[in-house]
Amino acid sequence: MKLALFDFDETLIQENSLSCLFKTVSGKDALFPDVFSLAFNWRTYKNGIKYSIRNRLYARCLKGVSEDSIIKAGESAAQVLHPLEAVVEQLKQLKAQNYTIWIVTATPTLFVKAIAQQWDWPVDLVVGTELYQTEGIYTGKFDLECMKQEKVRRVNEVIAEIQIKPSIEIAYGNLPVDIPMLEMATKKRYAVKGKQFFLYK
């Protein structure tokens, strides 16, 4: 099995899709009020600002949300997000060449899967951040974000589960966060910047 890996945010699409998810499921136009108080909490700086903001938004926006709401948010997001057509065309060409296509992303799996299906992308699997839930209702907590080195661990975990040893030949991502995933590719590694992509090492 020939495998091609693609990041999602700022690789297959121009923007970061998380804010779109949070706003859609919460019905809030502005997320700033939810994170403003973090500026006065010492734990914010101990754990890292980005980490603290994401934790707060997951808790405030996704707690009590159903799987169906996440799917509908993905379908709605597909109407406003902007695919990077040059990279999407590469994905489609690789699929036509019998590559298996995986999207590996820090964004929640179900949300990205709904977007990809809405756009009719030929994606075989989405490996993303997994959200904790109870009886189909999300708790606002999540597993380790599928980013940086965690992407490598998750890809290897899935490979072990399916008991098939694929050849990871090609990968697309944005720098510097996707360097660990890009380095999994044995043939070609592409870094995406803006609307362009180029060979990385």
Confidence of residue 30 (pLDDT cuts 50, 70, 90): very low
* Mean pLDDT calculated for residue range 132-160: 90
pLDDT for the residue numbered 165: 81
Structure tokens at 105: 């992303």
> Is this prediction's pTM over 0.85?
yes
Reported as a pLDDT band with limits 50, 70 and 90, residue 40 is: very low
The closest alpha carbon to 153, from 104, 108, 116, 112, belongs to: 104
Domains annotated for the chain, with CATH where assigned, are: 2-15+81-199 (3.40.50.1000)
Is residue 23 a contact partner of residue 15, using CB atoms and an 8 Å limit? no
The Cα diameter of the chain in Å comes to 53
What number is the average pLDDT over the span 98-102? 97
Each residue's pLDDT tens digit, 156-198: 999 998 877 889 999 999 999 999 999 999 999 999 998 889 9
123 exposed, middle or buried (CB, 10 Å; 0-12, 13-18, 19+)?
buried
Structure confidence at residue 105 (pLDDT)? 97
DSSP designation for 130:
P
Q: Residue 14: what are its φ and ψ, rounded to 5°?
A: -75, -35
How far, CA to CA in Å, does 117 sit from each of 49, 74, 75, 78?
A: 33, 9, 8, 9
Write down the pLDDT at residue 126. Answer: 98
Token code pair at residue 36: 């403003």
Top-ranked range on mean pLDDT: pick from 1-5, 36-40, 49-53: 1-5
- Residue 17: predicted pLDDT: 92
Six-digit token pair at 157?
A: 């975990």
Region 116-132: what's the mean pLDDT? 96
Tokens of 23: 């706003």
Percent of the chain with pLDDT over 90: 63
3-state secondary structure of 187: coil
Mean of all residue pLDDT scores within the chain: 86
**Euclidean distance between the first and final Cα of the chain, in Å?**
24
pLDDT of residue 151: 97
Q: What pLDDT does 33 receive?
A: 39
Among candidate residues 110, 153, 125, the one with its CA nearest the CA of residue 21: 110
pLDDT at site 42: 36
Mean pLDDT of 63-86: 94
